[in-house]
Amino acid sequence: MSSILTAEDLNLWYGETHALKNINMEIPDKSITALIGPSGCGKSTFLKTLNRMNDLIPSVKITGNVTYNGHSIFDKDTDVNTLRRNVGMVFQKPNPFPMSIYDNVAYGPRTHGFENRVKLDETVEQALRDAAIWEEVKDRLKKNALGLSGGQQQRLCIARALAVRPKVLLMDEPTSALDPISTSRIEELALQLKEKYAIIIVTHNMQQAVRISDHTAFFLLGELIEYGKTEDIFSQPQDQRTEDYITGRFG
Amino acid sequence: MKKKRKLYVFLVRAAMYACTALTVFLLFFLLGYVFIKGIPHITWELLSTKPSYLADRIGILPDILNTIYIILATLVIVLPLGVGAAIYLTEYAKNRKTVAVIEYAAETLSGIPSVIYGLVGMLLFSNNFGTSLLAGALTLAIMNLPTVMRTTQESLKTVPQSYREGAFGLGAGKWRVIRTVVLPGCVDGIITGCILSVGRILGESAALLFTAGFAHVLNGILTGLTSPGATLTVALYVYAKEEGEFGVAFAIAAILMILTLLINLSATLVGKYFAKRRNA
């Protein structure tokens, strides 16, 4: 398998707290990787390290390395804005901007200097189609995005992330704030999107990990305990702690 | 026992009613007194001419214009400074302790008696380039800087962090995030800060007595800024205290009260408009 993101001896501290301990992990392209583990185990922190969103927190210290397509993301000549363009993100709570649906999706392309009106229209439509929300919003593109339902807002945020044509999509518990119907729509969407993108998804929902992911990584107290094919992790876990967690003995 | 208690309740109630009645009475007495004494003296001639000893007439047009000039000049100076400082302190500054000290200092500054600003402004500005509206505007700019900065900061803080994260996550740089996502979210706070400042400028007299002077000459904005001039509040003081023209003084007082009412009203309307737009 070809890996698109690789973590090498990655350590991360929030002030004095050692939040990630010696993580080594290769994430394959064009597949879904699920990160599971109890709250506070470091899976979200790991996810946010991959596009350097942790830069926004002042007290963070990082050692080790993460490479994207073979280049270190912490390198001096790595442009963090380009990195985030290639490694897009969908957040736990839908966070559309308080502007029109169109402007939300066009925000990323415009940020990267995309001004041609016709091409912008095409990009926006394509992103909305890819996020399976085009049919619902095509007649109200100029309406404020905050008027959409929670599930629609989350799919809009996915469209917004897709509009800059990323290679990787990071999803931080994207369905935890949504109802079951919206959840299953997002899951179907993820399965379609993995044809074109590498998707890394943090989830608290074991069934979700089983349903959609190809690989699963189990985190506990900042350590990567076990990582492998999803069916192997859930059918024959190698580590006792993994087994305890997926059978619901703690967490 | 029961009787005593009833009497007690009656007395407390009576006292509360009396306090309320007195407050309301004082308020309406003041309003009524000023309006009754002032409004008959508001004539078109008063509003549209300058004072002339030859024609034996008093006009407050220069004072009205001076007030407008000084409001505009002060806002032009204070807005970029205050908003810029607020953006830096809230979005860029890393040393939270220093920021906290600066915020505390700004809050203290906004509570200082304005006469002190006048004294400093006189020494700093009027002594260097003369008693003028510009010296007054600079003084008022310093005086309003903390307010504009603090209101802007507070409204920057109300913009949800998730908006910033969303924009950063798409690869937007810091300044683009601030310009396209953060600032549009707090325009209402900035406008409210401005309106409050306009109210303060309108009502200020002490700081201007030192710095902007008492002249009633009719000027355009450019010559106006470089020459001395009285605003409405200063003119009120001059007409009442030095010329004994109480009719004119009360007319100005009535005008100022109406303007204050309008300013408060517009602040409320702006707040409502943006709240409505946000929920749309």
Within-domain flag for A34: yes
Residue A217 and residue A227 in contact, taking contact as beta carbons nearer than 8 Å: yes
Contact list in A for residue B165 (CB cut-off 8 A) is 53, 56, 91, 95
In the three-class reduction of DSSP (H, G, I as helix; E, B as strand; rest coil), residue A244 is classed as: helix
Which pLDDT tens digit goes with each residue over A220-251? 999 999 999 999 999 999 999 999 998 887 76
Cβ neighbours of A57 (radius 10 Å): 11
Q: Which residue has the higher pLDDT, A201 or B216?
A: A201
* Residues B163, A108: C-beta atoms closer than 8 Å: no
Determine contact: A156 vs chain B, CB below 8 A: no
Q: What pLDDT is stored for residue B148 in this prediction? A: 92
The DSSP secondary-structure symbol of B131 reads S
Q: What pLDDT is stored for residue B1 in this prediction? A: 66
How far apart CA B3 and CA A157 sit, in angstroms, is: 70
The DSSP secondary-structure symbol of A133 reads -
CA-based nearest residue in chain A for residue B96: A58
Q: Which residue has the higher pLDDT, A54 or B280?
A: A54
Q: Which of A88, A96, A147 sits opposite B169 (nearest CB)?
A: A88
* Residues B171, A82: C-beta atoms closer than 8 Å: yes
B11/chain A closest Cα distance in angstroms: 55
Helices within B184-245 (DSSP H only) = 187-203, 206-211, 221-226, 232-237
Average pLDDT, chain B: 90
Side chain identity, residue B141 = A
User: If pLDDT is split at 50, 70 and 90, which confidence band does B2 have?
Assistant: confident
* Residues B170, A107: C-beta atoms closer than 8 Å: yes
User: If pLDDT is split at 50, 70 and 90, which confidence band does B222 have?
Assistant: confident
A245/chain B closest Cα distance in angstroms: 31
User: If pLDDT is split at 50, 70 and 90, which confidence band does B279 have?
Assistant: low
Q: What pLDDT is stored for residue A23 in this prediction? A: 93
In the three-class reduction of DSSP (H, G, I as helix; E, B as strand; rest coil), residue B203 is classed as: helix
* Residues A98, B185: C-beta atoms closer than 8 Å: yes
* Residues A108, B94: C-beta atoms closer than 8 Å: no
Strand order in the sheet with A32-36: A87-90, A168-172, A198-202, A32-36, A215-220, A223-229
pLDDT at B278 over 80: no
Q: What pLDDT is stored for residue B78 in this prediction? A: 94
Contact list in A for residue B94 (CB cut-off 8 A) is 58
Determine contact: B162 vs chain A, CB below 8 A: yes
Residues 6 or more apart whose Cβ sits within 8 Å of residue B205: B231, B233, B234, B236, B237
Residues 6 or more apart whose Cβ sits within 8 Å of residue A75: none
Q: What pLDDT is stored for residue B124 in this prediction? A: 92
Average pLDDT for A43-55 = 93
Average pLDDT for A183-202 = 92
Determine contact: A87 vs chain B, CB below 8 A: no
A140/chain B closest Cα distance in angstroms: 14
Strands A3-14 and A60-68: antiparallel
How far apart CA A65 and CA A200 sit, in angstroms, is: 18
- Of A250, A186, A245, A184, residue with least CA distance to A35: A245
Q: Which of A103-107, A135-139, B231-235, B262-266 is predicted with the least confidence, judged by mean pLDDT?
A: B262-266
* Residues B170, A85: C-beta atoms closer than 8 Å: yes
How far apart CA A170 and CA A51 sit, in angstroms, is: 8
Contact list in B for residue A85 (CB cut-off 8 A) is 170-171
CA-based nearest residue in chain B for residue A84: B171
Determine contact: B35 vs chain A, CB below 8 A: no
Tokens for A59? 């007290």
Q: Which residue has the higher pLDDT, B220 or A53?
A: A53
* Residues B180, A107: C-beta atoms closer than 8 Å: yes
- Of A233, A185, A237, residue with least CA distance to A35: A233
Q: What pLDDT is stored for residue A1 in this prediction? A: 54
Tokens for A66? 């993460």
The DSSP secondary-structure symbol of A146 reads G
Contact list in A for residue B163 (CB cut-off 8 A) is 95, 97-98
Q: What is the ipTM of this complex?
A: 0.89
How far apart CA A183 and CA A190 sit, in angstroms, is: 11
Which pLDDT tens digit goes with each residue over B86-107? 999 999 998 889 999 999 999 9
Determine contact: B172 vs chain A, CB below 8 A: yes
Residue A185 and residue A213 in contact, taking contact as beta carbons nearer than 8 Å: no
Within-domain flag for A251: no
- Alpha-carbon distances of B190 from A21, A191, B279, rounded to whole Å: 45, 45, 19
Average pLDDT for B266-271 = 84
Within-domain flag for A10: yes
Average pLDDT for A197-207 = 93
pLDDT at A178 over 70: yes
Given the structure tokens 């409505």, which residue do they identify? B276
- Alpha-carbon distances of A136 from A129, A139, A140, B142, rounded to whole Å: 10, 8, 8, 53
Q: Which of B162, B169, B173 sits opposite A93 (nearest CB)?
A: B162
Determine contact: B185 vs chain A, CB below 8 A: yes
How far apart CA B139 and CA B50 sit, in angstroms, is: 26
* Residues A164, B170: C-beta atoms closer than 8 Å: yes
pLDDT at A200 over 90: yes
CA-based nearest residue in chain B for residue A98: B278
User: If pLDDT is split at 50, 70 and 90, which confidence band does B218 have?
Assistant: confident
Within-domain flag for A145: yes
Helices within A87-170 (DSSP H only) = 101-111, 117-130, 134-137, 150-162
* Residues B166, A96: C-beta atoms closer than 8 Å: yes
- CATH code of residue A131: 3.40.50.300
Q: Which of A91, A95, A108 sits opposite B171 (nearest CB)?
A: A108
Q: What pLDDT is stored for residue B280 in this prediction? A: 54
Question: Please, what sign has the CA dihedral across residues A184, A186, A192, A198?
Answer: negative
Tokens for A156? 């809009």
pLDDT at A58 over 60: yes
Which domain covers residue A218, as residue numbers? 3-246
Determine contact: B280 vs chain A, CB below 8 A: yes
How far apart CA A109 and CA A118 sit, in angstroms, is: 13
Mutate to test the interface with A, among B159, B170, B183, B278 (most CBs of A within 10 A): B170
In the three-class reduction of DSSP (H, G, I as helix; E, B as strand; rest coil), residue A19 is classed as: strand
How far apart CA A216 and CA A203 sit, in angstroms, is: 10
A235/chain B closest Cα distance in angstroms: 35
Structural domains counted in chain A = 1
Contact list in B for residue A147 (CB cut-off 8 A) is 280
How far from chain centre, in Å, is Cα A211?
Answer: 17
Determine contact: B220 vs chain A, CB below 8 A: no
